[in-house]
Chain A
Amino acid sequence: MTSGTLIRQARTRSGLSQAELSERSGKDRAQIARWERDVVTPSLETLRELLQACGFDLEMTLVLYQPPDPGDEAELQRALERTPQERLQAMLKARGG
């Protein structure tokens, strides 16, 4: 989950437009759009302010880090090197279709 996804999720769940969130939070609308697209990343404090303006809060706890399985990671990286067409055809082949 990226900060941009979190902001967009909170905003859409509260039924706000970017302009309305801008008005509520006092942040520039264009900057909100950049945060949502993850072009730039807000500070943790700003992220929390934005979520609170949407009626949500950010609850953070430390959890043990579980690195991705190296086999799954290699498979995913190979898939990303393929075109969307190749990915679809590989899936159809794998399911025997």
Chain B
Amino acid sequence: MAEHFDPYEVLQTLERHRVTYVVIGGLGRVIHGSTELTDGIDIVPSTREENLRRLGLALDELNARHSDGKALALERDLVGRGVLELHSDAGELKIVPEPAGTRGYDDLRRRAVREPLGQGLRPSVASADDHARMLAVLGREQDRPALQTMQRVIELERSLRRGLYIER
């Protein structure tokens, strides 16, 4: 966990350029209550042309680049890739147009919640259910602890909404 990571800088830059997106991945799970650590931010952008243009400007401002140092050409680089992994001055950034098990931004945004994170930021974060769904579809052993945590978060949140608390 040595790399510099400033999620506030990333999110503020995206907001400044009025990019529409949903936060997913490790950071999204942390916002829901997971105690894992993460070095970066994963987002699902709307793939509308104007939004990708705005995202490109935000990525330029963050000095986002490929790990091999190659310059970024967003629309070209997104074609045929499940995940676009970038390094930026504010930490790792993954652009995921269509996460496994979902139909992308329009699918996730309906259940996403705007979470207040301070510094005037209220990014859209994919629901705990959708986080669990994405991990379940991937079916990777390495994701099992994160999946179990999300399932427990869902159970606890549901019990709290019903005025119950699950005792163990």
Contact = CB atoms under 8 A, between A and B. Distances in A.
Interface string B126-168: 0001001100110000000000110111101110100000001
Interface stretch (A21-29, A45-53, A54-62, A74-82): A74-82
Contacts of B36: 91
B101 A88 contact: no
B37 A79 contact: no
B33 A76 contact: yes
B33 A1 contact: no
B168 A84 contact: no
**Count class of interface residues, chain B:** 35 or more
B81 interface: no
Contacts of A9: 101, 133, 136-137
Interface residues of A, number: 33
B38 A91 contact: yes
Contact of A80 (B33, B103, B118): B33
Interface string B7-37: 1000000000000000000010011111111
Contacts, number: 91
Contacts of A83: 116
A34 interface: no
Contacts of B154: 2, 5
A95 B39 contact: yes
Contact of A79 (B35, B38, B103, B160): B35
7 contacts: A5-B132, A12-B102, A12-B107, A80-B157, A88-B7, A91-B36, A95-B38
Given A76-B33, A76-B149, 8 more contacts: A2-B154, A13-B101, A76-B152, A80-B156, A84-B31, A84-B125, A87-B33, A88-B30
